[in-house]
Amino acid sequence: MTATLTATPTTALPPASGAPPDEDGATIDLKAELAELGVEAVLAALDGELVGLAPVKTRIREIAALLLVERARRKLGLLSPPPTLHMSFTGNPGTGKTTVAMRMADILHRLGFVRRGQVICVTRDDLVGQYIGHTAPKTKEVLKKAMGGVLFIDEAYYLYRPENERDYGQEAIEILLQVMENQREDLVVIMAGYGERMERFFASNPGFRSRIAHHIDFPDYREGELLAIAEILLDGQSYRFSPDAREAFVRYVGVRMTQPHFANARSIRNALDRARLRQANRLVAGSGPVSADMLMTIEAEDVLASRVFAQAARP
Amino acid sequence: MRLTQGCFSFLPDLTDQQIRAQVQYAIDRGWAVNIEFTDDPHPRNTYWEMWGLPVFDVRDAAAVMMDLDACRKVYGNRYIRVSAFDASAGWESLRLSFIVTRPAHEPGFSLRRDEGPGRVVRYSTHSYAAERPEGERYAGA
């Protein structure tokens, strides 16, 4: 640290032997640093396993880059206050907010910005108590568990219930805000929730908006991305579509997207689960022995039996 | 008179950073860390009041430091110690205990001699501080 403080123009001469090595000529290879920390592997996994979400990935890369630069600066003795890392993830159901939050903890841990790297997932129930005086200890307990890691608050907007002015959620919010501000280097808070509800939540709690540095919006998936997700999901469960079934599923996705209560990747997962159910039923009802290939393949009829098509056909 | 008991008692008072390192050591070994306080400095006063429950299920010392700061806000003019309990079979006892906060002024102890029959003398120690009622002993601090 003293090296930079003494780095006045007079030290432009080559440093005398025995001078600290991190004099103004010192360099840090960011690429090597990135590789050494294994962040690149996490980011690559993020790219490979999560389909779409381009703005989210860009933002995460930016955050990772900032943290890397911050690390390099610290190594060279350039002092700056620790960056605020609290985040808010907004987006429609099934857009991958929770999945990304888990990855985020890993990235932050590898870069050394959280010391332990555990993720504590909580919802309103875990923070807000049932009677007077119950909330503060409960919230503090959760915060203590999350110290050194990431606190992920799912459906964060439930914390604030404007319709009940004596709601204990407000107490939890106050404690959260205080810790988020005073112990920035001890824990990172990530809040997640559906877009407009979070918007209302932030509007009624302006303290939160200003304390959260990164507001990341998760876009809805496009049709092609949903198909890619389906493929990845099936592959993970050792299933596959027959060519006909794939075609049927493309139609299924197209129809399902226009219907109400569409929850992106979650709807896709549910659709696949139901297709597996029908496949199992078909195999059990059929006669003759089954091969591994039959056990793995989902046929067009498994997909086409969905009532999504029936509903779409109705005028 | 500076009260000494527990670990590190002949070292200068630990800084917050040193306390944090010790607490992290305890947490890493799976010991439950407690925060206790008292205003009766007598050496035989073993059971101090606890500040909340032992800090279970935490991964980082920051959680304990948060509790310690809260305790100091209320009882900063008393003795506060941090202890770590090892619940593993065979130990089931305290593994570490040290004073983290002490009153600004520690008046010390008097030695009393009670003369018994014959040449018998019984000795006892009394804290000057404990002559005042509980809660007012270190009020000047």
For residue A67, being part of any structural domain is answered with yes
Chain A interface, best mutation among B17, B27, B51, B58, by max A CB count within 10 A: B58
Identify from A145, A150, A181 which residue to disrupt to test chain B contact, counting B C-beta atoms within 10 A and taking the largest count.
Answer: A145
In a domain, A10, yes or no: no
Q: Is there a domain that residue A250 lies in?
A: yes
DSSP at B6:
B
Q: Which domain holds residue A299?
A: 223-313
CATH code at position A54? 3.40.50.300
pLDDT confidence of residue A111: 77
Chain B residue nearest residue A178, CA to CA: B66
**A261-301, pLDDT tens digit by residue?**
888 888 999 999 999 999 999 999 988 888 888 899 998 88
Q: Which of A174, A200, A218 is the last residue of a domain?
A: A218
Chain B residues touching residue A115 (CB < 8 angstroms): 60
Separation between Cα atoms, residue B69 and residue A116, nearest integer Å:
22
Q: Structurally, how many domains does chain A consist of?
A: 2
Whether residues A130 and A78 fall in one domain: yes
Do both A81 and A181 map to the same domain? yes
- pLDDT per position as a tens digit, A230-239: 988 898 889 9
Domains, chain B, with CATH or none: 16-103 (3.30.190.10)
A116–B59 CB contact, under 8 Å: yes
Burial class, A11, CB count within 10 angstroms (exposed 0-12 / middle 13-18 / buried 19+)? middle
* Non-local CB neighbours of A279 within 8 Å, separated by 6+ positions: A297, A298, A299, A302
Condensed to tens digits (0 to 9), the pLDDT of residues A158-211 reads 998 888 878 899 899 999 999 998 888 889 999 999 888 999 899 888 888 888
C-beta atoms of A147 and B60 within 8 A: yes
Chain B residues touching A188 at Cβ < 8 A: none
Predicted ipTM? 0.82
Asked whether the CA dihedral A5, A9, A10, A12 is positive or negative, the reply is positive
Domain assignment present for A188: yes
Exposed / middle / buried, residue A133 (Cβ in 10 Å: 0-12, 13-18, 19+): exposed
Q: Is the pLDDT of residue A121 over 50?
A: yes
Q: Do A48 and A164 belong together in one domain? A: yes
A-contacting residues in B 65-84 (Cβ below 8 Å) = 66-67
Q: In 3D, which of A232, A229, A235, A282 has the Cα closest to residue A256?
A: A229
pLDDT tens track for A208-227: 888 888 888 998 888 888 98
The residue that leads in pLDDT, A193 or A48, is A193
Q: Is A118 on the interface with B (CB under 8 A)?
A: yes
Establish if A62 belongs to a structural domain: yes
10-residue mean pLDDT profile of chain B (141 residues): values are: 91 94 95 94 92 90 93 94 95 94 92 94 93 82 44
**Phi, psi values for residue A93, rounded to 5°:** -55, 145
Residue A236's CATH number:
1.10.8.60
For chain A, the distance separating the N- and C-terminal CA atoms, rounded to the nearest angstrom, is 74
Domain match, A65 and A180 both? yes
Q: Are residues A298 and A208 in the same domain?
A: no
Using a pLDDT cut of 70, give the percent of chain A over it: 92
A256 and A195 together in one domain? no
Same domain as A163, residue A35? yes
- Nearest CA among A176, A172, A171 for reference residue A187: A176
Q: What is the per-residue pLDDT across B58-98, written as a single tens digit (0 to 9) for each?
A: 999 999 999 999 999 999 999 999 999 999 999 999 999 99
The pLDDT value recorded for residue B88 is: 93
Last residue of a domain, one of A161, A187, A218: A218
DSSP letter (8 states) at residue B131: G
- HEC string of B83-121 equals EEEECCCCCCEEEEEEEEECCCCCCCEEEEEEECCCCCE
What confidence score (pLDDT) does residue B3 get? Answer: 92
For residue A24, the model assigns a pLDDT of 60
* Residues A265, A172 share a domain: no
Q: Note the pLDDT tens digit of each residue in A66-114.
A: 888 888 888 888 887 778 889 999 988 888 888 888 888 888 888 778 8
